[in-house]
Amino acid sequence: MSEFDVIFAGGGLVGAAAAVGLAHAGRRVAVIEAAERQANHQPSYDDRTLVINAASLNILAGLGLLPARLARTPVRRIRITRAGGFGLLELRAADYQREQFGAVIVARELGNVLLEAMHNTPGITELCPATLETFTVESDHVRVRLGDGNRVRTRLLVGADGTRSMVRQIAGLASRHHDYGQSAMIFNVRPGRAPADTAWERFTPQGPLALLPQPEGRLGVVWIDASPAVDRAMNWDDDTLIGHLNRRFGPALGGFSRPGKRARYPLVQQRTPRPVGERVAVIGNAANSVHPVSAQGFNLGLRDVAGLVEVLQRHDDPGCAAALSAYAERRQPDQEATVRYTDTLARAFTNPSLLARTGAGLGLAAHAIIPGLSRRLVQAAMGFREPVSQLARGPA
């Protein structure tokens, strides 16, 4: 029976990054992944545009996962507006002594870098294609049974297997769920005019609308609406889609053209207050799934990766109770605050009441006027919410 220090159930972006980080730290790591490992074909390595904030760029660089060849578009300015109401917030990285707030990277391109890193990093065994069927926790290890009947052992089992995590369910880790009744439609367009380093977030009665800079002058669109409305929008022809986008965003960018391929994702919130059990932990969406407003989901998962890598470096046994308790306690403040923050934004700007809409507009105006408020917003959005891991801080 093969034995490992850590086994990851799930080889998506978060699971793969954590596997590389722990292998660099000298751990024997295995990754269980159902999909055949092939560039451009992993389920989570799709055409979504990921806003990688400053802390996450530091984490990826520290793990050797940010090579110069990886295409990325810097975000140096963010404009946040409301449709049909007052409130405008414009943030410039230079005002906070930063070169950039972060960068936009296509998930597929980052996924290809991660695949290559896993293939080339000693200490990583890829159990693929394979599925986790069940596991049994014993005093000093976890016995894992795979879908093909094979068995492996590990001192720590980490679930990086998404919102419906089997690891979380079998381990009995309590979590709270909320279905927003919304979906995100993802595609890209050509704007009439747009600065290359600016991201836009527009709050509309239907839901947030984000436009993110991409290479070659295109913009990645994250269109959020009630799920039935998104189902209908997925079937619009290109001209109809562009017409609705022009009306929903407004004329600021001179109109849009040439929409790309569309994809849709249902939006749910999930919170796992204590994401660890006996020799088991869950990270990324397996622990906490958040609304995509403010683009915090993947960044929160990368901070889980950094926290796990750094805590386990201080323990010989990666699955011991002391290590897992230290990880859970270190990550709790950031996870709780990020889930609360994104949920508040998602609800406040789509609330139909006049009082809620007025409050949301006043909140934007206050952040624009009061330097302390905007500075706290920027620090949190860039991923520097205390306690900050050394990987997230980057080089001194």
What was the pLDDT predicted at 223? 95
E strands along 245-291, which residues?
256-257, 263-271, 276-277, 280-282, 288-289
Domains in the chain: boundaries: 2-73+101-177+268-354+384-393
Stretch 13-23: mean pLDDT: 97
Query: In 3D, which of 137, 7, 108 has the Cα closest to residue 49?
Result: 108
Q: Does domain 2-73+101-177+268-354+384-393 have CATH number 3.50.50.60?
A: yes
What was the pLDDT predicted at 204? 85
What was the pLDDT predicted at 208? 87
pLDDT over 60 (residue 359):
no
What was the pLDDT predicted at 273? 97
Interior/surface letters 291-319, b for 16+ CB within 10 angstroms, e for the rest: bbbbbbbbbbbbbbbbbbbbbbeeeeebb
> What are the pLDDT digits (tens) for 263-294?
999 999 999 999 999 999 999 999 999 988 77
What was the pLDDT predicted at 105? 94
pLDDT over 80 (residue 259):
yes
Strand ranges of the sheet holding 73-75, from the earlier edge strand across to the other edge: 49-53, 102-106, 73-75
Stretch 114-118: mean pLDDT: 95
What was the pLDDT predicted at 195? 80
Residue with tokens 């039935």: 228
How much of the chain exceeds pLDDT 70, in percent? 89
How much of the chain exceeds pLDDT 90, in percent? 73
Element (H, E) at 335: helix 321-348
What was the pLDDT predicted at 44? 52
Q: Which one has a higher pLDDT value, 365 or 281?
A: 281
> What are the pLDDT digits (tens) for 26-64?
999 999 999 876 655 555 546 678 999 999 999 999 999
Most confident of 94-108, 315-329, 357-371: 315-329
Task: Reduce the DSSP state of residue 362 to 3 states and report it.
Answer: helix
